[in-house]
A and B are shown apart, each in its own frame.
Chain A
Amino acid sequence: MMIKRQSKEWPDARGYFGRFGGQFIPEVLRPALNELHHAYLMFKDDPQFQSELLAELSDYAGRPTPLYFARNLTSHYGRAKIYLKREDLAHTGAHKINNTIGQILLAKRMGKKRIIAETGAGQHGVATATVAAKYGLQCCIYMGEEDMARQQPNVMRMKMLGAEVRAVHTGTKTLKDATNEALRDWLTNVKTTHYIIGSVVGPHPFPMMVRDFQSIIGKEVLEQIRSKQISLPDYLVACVGGGSNAMGLFYPFLPYENVKLIGVEAEGLGLSSGQHAASLTAGRPGIFHGMLTYLLQDENGQIRLPYSISAGLDYPGVGAEHSFLMESKRASYHSVTDRQALWAAYVLTRLEGIIPALESAHALAYLEELMPRTTEQQTVVVNLSGRGDKDMDTYIRHLNDFEQVLKTIRIGNTL
């Protein structure tokens, strides 16, 4: 395969990826962002920081996570080989820990005493509470009331880890509003507090920094795929809410232009219903949470209420770099509905014995569309960004709808 490389590094000095990104923030946050930026640039290439980070990622978080050949899923579709990057096997059950370890090491070096975070599905909240416990920092997690109800197990985990979970009652009571409240807390306690943003969103340097911490995913895939005598995968598929697991997988592959990058957004009840969270597929550029990016908004620039069955994708914006990758056509973005995601979760569970997070199930669901276009010589890597324990209530509630069809799938196509 011919390997093309692109050269330009993003973001630029102003925190822009092309025309997206930036620092649209109240002045009071400026000193904190500058401090964070300087600290990050200083420690990023510091051998001691890097060796501490790598040791934590390996011995504490359990990296590298496996790249698993999904034999049954592959024969189910009968086309390209499907590999799953098993981020669900990382400590705390999702890729979120890659970022929280990196950021807490920075927070310690900056002398911060207190950590705050927003969370949707609760995975980032748990990953933050986990490292805060390990490093002995005070921790406060903002979570929408609605999300607390649908992700109870994660709320309990955070509490057991010693974090204070603050219920957010404003707006949609989901991730957008939890992020607003976390920002307001940061505005107020900026001297003592570090805000661990959970995705590649927010003002510069967060999108760059979170991407870099998550890019361990793609770096491992590059090595692992070669050890399987495959030079490069043909497709990378990942779900996109804010987009950190996708960015982490995609980033090391950006120079390899023959590798097709596919992000999958949450289409909820369908694009025409208006009940979805597909910012890239159905939104337009705007300024929100400190960045210029694709947003769900009304004609007056008010942010629209997103909807998804998956709490982790239920966000009206998306990482600025994804907006850039879409407009520059380096990556393509698609969407799948709640039902498609549920279906994909049941299929994976029955065929491979892996219960995926509802977020990750969106990536899996896109295989229905992608696989018929592939050949047996090709390779697809799907980022299995998290495990499904937290979604058991939802899965059990919908299982009956799918049970009959599931039986036929297993017997008909696989064995």
Chain B
Amino acid sequence: MSQRLRQRIGQSIRSGKKLLSLFVTAGFPDPELTVDIILACDKAGVDFIELGMPFSDPIADGPVIQKASDIALQKGMTINRILNMVKTVRNQSSIPIILMGYVNPVFQTGFEPFFARCAEAGVDGLILPDWPPEESTRFTDLLNQYDLDLIHLIAPNTPLERIKQIDQHSKAFVYCTAYTGVTGKDSHTSNGIESFLSTLREHLNNPFLVGFGIKSAEDFNYYSGFSAGCIVGSAFIKTIENIRQQEIDEKVKEFVHRIRYGPETG
């Protein structure tokens, strides 16, 4: 039910509040904790969740998410178990959930069966970085039929013509990376990012969020200044690395506060 995602983004933009999305690898640090982590995010005011589907060879990810992915796989995560987690969340929460992963496990499930099961479980959207528009546009009707938003990525080296093309193929929002590279690096190293973000603001019809390397209120405020909000992944994964069941609510709340407003303030 992707209206959930589009509504949430629309409301935020109208109210002027910047969106915060957190990425969590399904099954990390333990499959028993994932549902609680998502529910805690909802309670802490996170706008939507990117639920990572672990893959053996995550080429677009840095060391933090690679490791989380490995651990989740060792603990037996599969697409079936991830969809069951989403179903469990749906009994208690309407926080929009986007599944993010690599295309091969989806391809093995079969595109249509996978979409159908996502829709049934209550998934709102998909991000598959290695499934670009060239390969995915022939599935647009099918995605619409199951009301799933396919979110595409663009990077600071994406040419304007291509940006416009991706914008046309996008629903809900466009995911812009803060630099060219893998997840979880320092986002301040990118040259010419301001003019790039301004270009996006000028030319995109869809709202866009910025992700990759966002780890502080400083980053959040900076990138939100240009965009509808930010996506935080590696920094959150580090925070939940050794988390215990009873401290989930508190730690997640603390983290969300730290990203939105900075550390140690009331």
Q: Which residues does A use to contact B, with CB under 8 Å?
A: 14, 22-28, 30-31, 170-171, 176-177, 180, 183-184, 187-188, 190-191, 286-290, 292, 295, 297, 299-303
Contact = CB atoms under 8 A, between A and B. Distances in A.
B159 A302 contact: no
28 contacts: A22-B135, A23-B134, A23-B135, A24-B135, A26-B129, A26-B130, A26-B153, A27-B132, A27-B152, A27-B166, A31-B159, A31-B162, A170-B66, A171-B57, A184-B59, A184-B62, A187-B180, A188-B182, A188-B185, A190-B157, A286-B108, A287-B102, A287-B104, A288-B104, A289-B57, A297-B108, A301-B105, A303-B104
Contacts of B102: 287
Report which residue of B79, B180, B182 has the largest number of chain A beta carbons within 10 angstroms of its beta carbon: B180
Interface string B114-144: 0000000000000001111011000000000
Q: For the complex, would chain B's binding face be called helix, strand, loop or mixed by DSSP majority?
A: loop
Given A27-B129, A28-B177, A188-B182, A300 B162 contact: no
A31 B57 contact: no
Interface string B54-67: 01110110100010
Contacts of A292: 107
A188 B57 contact: no
B177 A300 contact: no
Contacts of A290: 130
Contact of B180 (A28, A170, A301): A28
Given A26-B129, A28-B180, A300 B79 contact: yes
B257 to A, nearest CB: 31
Contact of A25 (B132, B154, B159, B182): B132
A291 to B, nearest CB: 10
Interface of B: 55-57, 59-60, 62, 66, 73, 78-79, 102-109, 129-132, 134-135, 152-155, 157-159, 162, 166, 177, 180-182, 185
A187 B182 contact: yes
A281 B68 CA distance: 32
Contact of B60 (A26, A288, A295): A26
Contact of A287 (B79, B107, B166): B107
A348 to B, nearest CB: 35
Given A22-B135, A26-B60, A184-B62, 12 more contacts: A27-B166, A30-B158, A31-B159, A171-B57, A184-B59, A187-B59, A187-B181, A191-B157, A286-B108, A301-B106, A303-B56, A303-B104
Contacts of A26: 59-60, 129-130, 132, 153, 155
Given A31-B158, A184-B182, A302 B135 contact: no
Nearest to A182: B59
A160 B108 CA distance: 44
A303 to B, nearest CB: 4
Contacts of B181: 28, 184, 187-188
A27 B57 contact: no
A312 to B, nearest CB: 19
B33 to A, nearest CB: 21
A27 B159 CA distance: 11
